[in-house]
Amino acid sequence: MAYSAKVMDHFQNPRNVGKIEDASGVGEVGNAKCGDIMKIYLKIENDVIVDVKFNTFGCASAIATSSMATELIKGKPVSEALTLTNKAVVEALDGLPPVKIHCSVLAEEAVKAAIKDYYDRNGIEYDAELFGESGCSNCCHCD
């Protein structure tokens, strides 16, 4: 199985690993297909993600996609982070082997779960549909 140089880089040197004690929102999701887990912490100020940390207990692809996802949302408005798809994360990593695409869903779902937690904690209204389906529909390997 061939991984891109970017996948190897983010797996071997993952960015933003850790925990934020006073996080504004925390999201934890598990991958139904393999049981791997990702937890993400967001620090949000004035509706902007000023800091983000993650812990992923999973395969190389899950760690690389988690790392890239944190890089893609850091410094971005919450509304922009909500539009992050697993497909965008995979593209930013120059692709993943087809059988590992499902691993990237973890990152997208964890970011969304953390934003939902932030909304819930602050009584911010949102459209529940935003947190329904994941970008998993982009992928045909989650059978």
Residues paired with 56 in a beta bridge: 38
Identify which of 5, 18, 104 has the alpha carbon closest to the alpha carbon of residue 63: 104
CB of 19 to ligand FES, least distance (A): 20
- Segments in the chain forming alpha helices (H): 5-12, 60-73, 78-81, 86-92, 101-122
Is 14 among the residues that bind ligand FES (CB under 6 A)?
no
Cβ at position 125, least distance to ligand FES in Å: 32
Query: How far does the chain reach from its first CA to its final CA, in angstroms?
Result: 20
Q: Which stretch binds ligand FES (CB under 6 A): 53-61, 77-85, 86-94, 126-134?
A: 53-61
Which residues, at least 6 apart from 74, have a Cβ–Cβ distance to it below 8 Å? 16, 49, 51, 52
| Segment near ligand FES (CB under 6 A); pick from 7-15, 57-65, 67-75, 119-127 | 57-65
Residue closer to ligand FES, measured from CB, 49 or 103: 103
Q: Looking only at residues 84 through 123 of this chain, which bind ligand FES when binding is defined by CB under 6 A?
A: 100, 103, 106
The site for ligand FES (CB under 6 A) is made up of 31, 34, 36, 58-59, 61-62, 100, 103, 106
